Amino acid sequence: MSSLSPLPAATGAATAAFLRPSLLPPKKSASQLSAYKSRKPYSPHFARISCKTSSSDKEPNNNDQTGPTTRRDILIGMGSLYGAASSLSDPTALANPLQPPDLSKCHPAIKGDAGDTADCCPPFSDQIEFKLPSPKEPMRIRPAAHLVDKAYIDKYEKAISLMKALPDDDPRSFKNQANVHCAYCNGAYDQVGITPSVALQIHFSWIFFPFHRYYLYFFERILGKLIDDPTFALPFWNWDSPDGMQIPAIFADPASPLYDAIRAPDHLPGGSSPLVDLDWSRSAASLTPEAQWQSNRDVMHTQMVSGAKKRTLFFGTPLKAGDLADGNGQGTLERTPHGNLHIWVGDLTREYKEDMGNLYSAGRDPLFYCHHGNVDRMWDLWKTLGPRRTDFTDPDWLDAAFLFYDENCKLVRCKIRDSLDNEKLRTGYQSVPILWKDSKRVPKKIRNKATAATATKKKRESKRVPKTKSATTTTKKKRELTDLSKFPLVLNKAISVAVPRPRKNRSKAEKEEEEEVVVVKGIEIDRSQVIKFDVALNDDDDGAPAGPRDTEFAGSFVNVPHRQKPGASKFKTALTLGITDLLEDLGADGDDTVVVTLVPKVGEPVIGGLKIDYLAD
Ligand code: C2O
């Protein structure tokens, strides 16, 4: 079951027409924008929700907990939320976890330019508190998408078809489920009790993993209920293995409900560059499957192992009630490969890069939930990869909460603390080989030497790292340095900066205690654009910047397009990369300075500055 097999055959899906009007929101007008501004309770017809488990079912008995609710009931039900939120202004209050949104105050999400909105507001009703499923419930074991059989595909397709057939006033409909993501990501909610208003944003911080875990949890249970199968589990896209290096074939059949016509045609199986590039950049050339796998393997090692030795490096930095997600930073995996793959699947020729390439529309692609299956699997795996790889214990993380509709159409308030153990959620993953735990990265200078010696022998298969070709003919030189005093600057070409290291030759214990990090400060981007830049250390200038296979490569900044407010597209954030292992592997641990090279790949961000720091958690 879990042995390596060749890449699945291409299906030729690339020729499908790019048409799917039913899920495209109509163009919004200025009046929609004023709906945003006035914060009217949205779509009053949604106050009563419908909940038919299948077309033959009756509406459930609404007398007990699911009852139709007046707006007054909702506000009373939310009293405790307001109570919690009002303590935010109390300086003596200790905890300050992010609160779930007030669905009655949802307003249109922002798709792009001012005035261009998407209606993502869910129906609303009263809430219940989340309860873990009974330990007697069967486990739902999520299979790798490339390993499923016909019986599974039939079941999965049937469930998605039924979900797509649910009416718009059923919160479990595919459209409403897709909108969950839109609303939480593109400014449809303001944080409750915070003035002036701060948009709720579940990316770019430590909220990222738990939010998406719950999202899949409910999405999966709804599907299971629709086909009456309590064991039904979503598939995961095993993009961290050589077998999963394409869009899984089950999503690429235009006749299947799992298909989405709004994807990059060249990245479909059978397209011109179908191999998943976890380090995708617009300019990258296609690699052979073997070279692509080697690159992907090294990306995974950096993101999961060497670059993720502290919690905040892996999960992202804290976001508490009242915080802008802007000031915080994404974790390793959220950037790459998570963000990269969104952009890789989305159709970048479209203004808003739908579907996967923009957070507002990503949930419309069934592949989204498969992609996030693997993201969620990485959370579990990360905890097995070394000491101190544990969940946060900060109550501001544990008590942060979200709202989701469950399979019975109940609106459930879920705290992060109940999401930490997949087994308690009765969720697991099929075991497949993990081939990226060991690093195969080599410093460029060593590889160049070795290659020069065997230049007449084998040529490197990778076109993207042409060191081997050029090593004998190119003379490497030190990079021209930009002075630290030149920041802030627009990163429109590669720059290198000598950054002082406050400490050097630290002991093993010190290194375990605190991870050395390079911090790219004051990154300013237009959040609606694809942005990517790479960071390398002590990278000699030999004509090609370091890539994922080179030890010098520290990581990338990645922004998946999204908007939060009309007219406000600027996003200020930071990038923090763990570099203790990297400096050791480069033999640079005794140096007073490190040369940090920033290479713009897509877009031209403003960079505020650079520093070396030490991170305890
Ligand atoms: Cu919420 Cu993959 O994004």
Amino acid at the residue 517: V
For range 221-231, the mean pLDDT: 98
The response to whether residue 263 sits with its C-beta less than 6 Å from ligand 1 reads no
Q: How far apart are CA 569 and CA 562, in angstroms?
A: 9
What is the average per-residue pLDDT within 123-149? Answer: 95
407-443: pLDDT as tens digits: 999 999 999 999 999 999 999 999 999 999 998 899 9
User: Is the predicted pLDDT of residue 24 greater than 50, yes or no?
Assistant: no
Residues 6+ apart with CB under 8 A from 584: none
Mean pLDDT for 569-585 is 93
Closest CA to 538 of 556, 518, 523, 524: 518
Environment class of residue 20 by beta-carbon count within 10 Å: exposed (0-12), middle (13-18) or buried (19+)?
middle
Per-residue pLDDT at 50: 83
**Going by C-beta distance under 8 Å and a sequence separation of 6 or more, which residues neighbour residue 454?**
none
Alpha-carbon distance 33 to 487, whole Å? 37
C-alpha distances in angstroms, 385 versus 116, 304, 306, 373, 388? 44, 8, 10, 19, 9
Distance CA 352, CA 113 (A): 10
CATH assignment at residue 108: 1.10.1280.10
In the block, which residue shows the tokens 């060497």?
A: 306
What pLDDT does 187 receive? Answer: 83
304, 581 in Cβ contact below 8 A? no
Together in a domain, 484 and 608 = yes
Instruction: State which H helix or E strand residue 405 sits in.
Output: strand 401-405
- Ligand 1 neighbourhood includes 213 CB (under 6 angstroms): no
Q: How far is CA 140 from the centre of its chain?
A: 23
Which residues neighbour 244 within 8 Å (Cβ) at sequence distance 6 or greater?
144, 145, 146, 237, 238, 276, 374
Which segments of 176-294 are extended strands (E)?
Answer: none
Structural domain contains residue 66: yes
Residue 113 has pLDDT above 90, yes or no: no
Specify the CATH number for the domain of residue 566. 2.60.120
Same domain, 485 and 366: no
Per-residue confidence (pLDDT) for residue 445, from 0 to 100 = 76
Q: What is the pLDDT of residue 291?
A: 93
Q: Is there a single domain that holds both residue 383 and residue 450?
A: no
Residue 62: its pLDDT value, please? 35
Q: Is residue 216 part of a domain?
A: yes
Angle at 186 between CA 23 and CA 300, to 5 degrees: 95
With respect to residue 410, please indicate whether it lies within any of the assigned structural domains.
Answer: yes
Nearest to 401 by CA among 182, 222, 189: 189
Give the confidence band of 455 by pLDDT, cuts at 50, 70, 90: low
Classify residue 594 by burial, with Cβ atoms within 10 Å: 0-12, 13-18, 19+. Answer: buried
Q: Six-digit token pair at 160? A: 């998605």
**Which DSSP letter does residue 415 get?**
E
- Higher model confidence: residue 132 or residue 327? 132
pLDDT (0 to 100) of residue 284: 66
pLDDT at 449 over 70: yes
* Mean pLDDT across the chain: 83
| 112-121, 229-238, 380-389, 552-561: segment of lowest average pLDDT | 112-121
For 19-149, where are the alpha helices, taking DSSP H only?
A: 30-38, 71-77, 79-86
- Ligand 1 centroid to 501 CA: how many Å? 35
Lowest-confidence range among 95-99, 134-138, 160-164, 213-217?
A: 95-99
Q: Is a pLDDT exceeding 70 seen at residue 579?
A: yes
Q: Check pocket membership of 362 for ligand 1, CB cut-off 6 A.
A: yes
For residue 36, with 0-12 CB atoms within 10 Å meaning exposed, 13-18 middle and 19 or more buried, which class applies? buried
456 and 525 share one domain: no
**How do residues 284-320 score in pLDDT, each as one tens digit?**
678 899 999 999 999 999 999 999 999 999 999 999 9
For residue 181, which atom of ligand 1 is closest to its CA?
Answer: 1
* 274 and 336 both lie in a single domain: yes
Structure tokens at 146: 């490339």
SS3 state at 605: coil
99 plus 222 within the same structural domain: yes
Asked if residue 27 belongs to a domain, the reply is no
Confidence of residue 117 (pLDDT cuts 50, 70, 90): confident
Output the CA 104–ligand 1 centroid distance in Å. 24
Residue 501 lies in a domain: yes
- Assess contact for 207 and 319: CB atoms under 8 A: yes
Distances (CA, A) of 599 to 335, 491, 581, 607: 16, 8, 21, 12
Report how far ligand 1's centroid is from the alpha carbon of 326 (Å).
16
Q: Which of 300, 290, 365 minimizes the C-alpha distance to 333? A: 300
Q: Is the distance from the beta carbon of residue 342 to the nearest atom of ligand 1 less than 6 Å?
A: yes
Q: Which residue shows structure tokens 């039924």?
A: 162
Same-domain check for residues 211 and 308? yes
Ligand 1 site, residue 181, Cβ cutoff 6 A: yes
Query: Is residue 24 assigned to a domain?
Result: no
Say how many Å lie between the CA of residue 362 and the centre of ligand 1: 7
- In a domain, residue 28? The reply is no
Q: Which of residues 429, 458, 493 is at a domain's end?
A: 429
CA distances from 505 to 386, 502, 509 (A): 22, 11, 11
Atom of ligand 1 nearest to the CA of 208: 1
Q: Tell me how long the chain is.
A: 617
Whether residue 354 sits in one domain with residue 239 = yes
Residues 331 and 289 both lie in one domain: yes
* Choice between 433 and 282, residue whose per-residue pLDDT is larger: 433
**d(Cα 284, Cα 149) in Å, to the nearest integer?**
34
pLDDT at 302 (0 to 100): 97
- CA of 184 from ligand 1 middle (Å) equals 10
Query: What's the rounded Cα separation, in Å, for the pair 354 and 348?
Result: 8
Residue 457 domain boundaries: 446-475
Could you give the number of structural domains in the chain? Answer: 3
Tokens in use for 150? 């016909």
Beta strands in 232-311 (DSSP E): none
* Ligand 1 atom showing the smallest separation from residue 184 Cα: 1
Taking the centre of ligand 1 as the mean of its atom positions, its distance from the CA of residue 194, in whole angstroms, is 24
In the chain, the largest separation of any two C-alpha atoms, in whole Å, equals: 80
Q: Are residues 227 and 362 in the same domain?
A: yes
d(CA 126, CA 76): 9
Report long-range pairs for 15-24 (Cβ below 8 Å, ≥24 apart). Answer: 16/254, 16/259, 16/261, 17/261, 18/261, 18/262, 18/265, 18/347, 19/261, 20/260, 20/261, 20/262, 23/175, 23/178, 23/364
Answer whether residue 323 is part of any domain: yes
One-character DSSP codes across 523-563: EEEETTS-EEEEEEES--BSSS---TTBTTEEEEEEE----
Q: What span, in angstroms and rounded, lies between the C-alpha atoms of 341 and 115?
A: 28
Percent of the chain surpassing pLDDT 90: 64
Same structural domain, 315 and 270: yes
Ligand 1 binding pocket includes 335 (Cβ within 6 Å):
no
**More confidently predicted of 345 and 194:** 345
* 464 and 499 co-located in one domain: no
Tell me if 479 CB under 6 Å of ligand 1.
no
